[in-house]
Chains A and B, each alone.
Chain A
């Protein structure tokens, strides 16, 4: 039955073209020598050089990277714990509430999450800045990590854990020495997804940020509101390159199957 029908090929090709063409155009125009975004003035690195002079943009990028690394790490720890809870602890009191809280942020509109977190920080009298954005991003991204790790935990061979425990290994040690190495690719994929989601987020960061913690998306957004700027094309291209390189490295490092499963799990296992 697996024949290549022209209809199927066309559908996939058109769909992929629709997904990639705008990004390709953005990348090409970042090398445009002309300040007028629409007129092609030949290849040039002018806007990348201009970017190096833009201290505000560089500072924002640095803040974003630190927030993303911190929140992705925290989210990976919390997300893994949640996934273990959901797969290995059977029924416990409050399980329904727990699984609802784990899945809800995946679809919760960002304006609601952002506003509610801001009001929490205000109510607690916490000064907003680096730490509040990182905590907010951890809350958002841990749910994605949970879904990825969860799908790995339910699909792997439990008999390995059982064997270790039959041989007298305590559960906690079994988890560290048997389970953790086996689900490591899922943790890596989860960390990367959490990192890129944090790097990307504008809405929640805008609500929870404070003086001195302007993230890259907030900075880019304030520039973009005023119209298209070639410098913005350049920084966007750098971010795309960053993600592309990271994705390639991660797929080289981890087994292809594991990465693929994890990627599907991100959204697809949704079903």
Chain B
């Protein structure tokens, strides 16, 4: 544990001298270190968004690729003017006027919001329990929480199909115990979606919470106790406020991807109201309407822009600041 993690290093070995070109041998490798991943991300992560935006402004066509206009580089400036003239907001107008899409967005937000609350309610006591357990156990407990994350997401959702189906294990057990008289249709319901989402995202909630709770100084609670603060009150006034960065990170790490979730609602949910990820999937794969699918993606991105930016701030502060 060196102290120079806290302050910017006075001497940045790989940084300043090589870039100034003082050491010619290292200048090229040093530039490549930045350029290769930078170029990769610009081409495969950033540029695609521009294309999505462009296609969301196109019109559906019976062609290959199935949209118009197709930008023709060879036509030069005239081609560009022509191209801009043909852009249309038709897809967005459809999104705003058809209740199918609006309900779909609302449903996604609802599922993400409620699930995040449930995840907090389950994840916080778990993270707290792990952080308060003897130090020697903690690595094992953390590994047990992470391990399911390493097994397939699809498999874990599918495992619930086994349990929740009409003649599945849950109904069998509940009927044996005479809690229910006849099988309950768990599958194809919102309940099943919530179970699947909470189950799949639990590690994402527990780990950030654990990371902040574990760093907390025990002496703070001792001080509170010494000053006559009851344990329950110390929890709410000391522990909870100190863990808020973890709460925020865990909540965002769950909320954002859940909004666009496809696999869970598709396998466990019903067919009444689809989540937006399913709607996008249907527009793209079933209806082959690429412009509308792109418009859905753009609108979803706009909706998630603020949470994503908050998440990025948290992430950067955590990784670059004192750890």
Residues of A within 8 A of B (CB): 1-5, 7-12, 15-16, 18-20, 22-23, 25-26, 29, 37-38, 78-79, 81-82, 84-86, 88-90, 92, 94, 98-113, 115-117, 119-120, 122-123, 135-136, 138-139, 142, 147, 150-151, 154-155, 157-159, 161-162, 165, 170-172, 174-175, 192-193, 196, 199-200, 202-203, 206-207, 217, 220-221, 224-225, 227-228, 232-233, 236, 239-240, 243-244, 247, 251, 256, 260, 263-264, 266-271
Tally B residues with Cβ within 8 Å of A: 127
Interface residues of chain A: helix, strand, loop or mixed (majority): helix
Q: CA of A82 to CA of B41 in the docked complex: distance in angstroms? A: 10
Q: CA of A89 to CA of B33 in the docked complex: distance in angstroms? A: 10
B36 adjacent to chain A (CB < 8 Å) = yes
B34 cross-chain contacts in A, Cβ below 8 A: 81, 85, 89, 92, 98
A193 cross-chain contacts in B, Cβ below 8 A: 150
Q: CA of A27 to CA of B178 in the docked complex: distance in angstroms? A: 27
Q: CA of A228 to CA of B208 in the docked complex: distance in angstroms? A: 34
Complex contact A236–B2 (CB within 8 A): no
B267 cross-chain contacts in A, Cβ below 8 A: 224-225
Q: Select which of B40, B133, B301, B319 is within 8 A of A8 by beta carbon.
A: B133
Complex contact B158–A220 (CB within 8 A): yes
Given A15-B123, A119-B51, A170-B23, 8 other A-B contacts at CB below 8 A?
A78-B37, A111-B297, A115-B294, A119-B55, A151-B319, A172-B29, A264-B142, A266-B146
B19 cross-chain contacts in A, Cβ below 8 A: 89, 92
Complex contact A196–B150 (CB within 8 A): yes
Complex contact A11–B126 (CB within 8 A): yes
Which of B74-82, B83-91, B93-101, B166-174 contacts the other chain?
B166-174
Q: Could you list 27 A-B pairs, sorted by A, with CB under 8 Å?
A: A11-B125, A23-B155, A25-B159, A25-B162, A25-B169, A26-B158, A26-B162, A78-B40, A81-B37, A88-B13, A94-B38, A101-B42, A107-B308, A108-B257, A109-B257, A109-B259, A109-B277, A109-B300, A117-B44, A120-B48, A138-B40, A142-B37, A154-B5, A172-B25, A225-B266, A227-B161, A240-B155
B261 cross-chain contacts in A, Cβ below 8 A: 109
A155 cross-chain contacts in B, Cβ below 8 A: 5, 323
Complex contact A8–B202 (CB within 8 A): no
A111 cross-chain contacts in B, Cβ below 8 A: 260, 262, 277, 280-281, 297, 300
Query: Which B101-160 residues have C-beta < 8 A from chain A?
Result: 122-123, 125-126, 128-130, 132-135, 139, 141-156, 158-160
Complex contact B139–A256 (CB within 8 A): yes
Distance in angstroms from B37 CB to nearest chain A CB is 4
Q: Select which of A37, A89, A139 is within 8 A of B15 by beta carbon.
A: A89
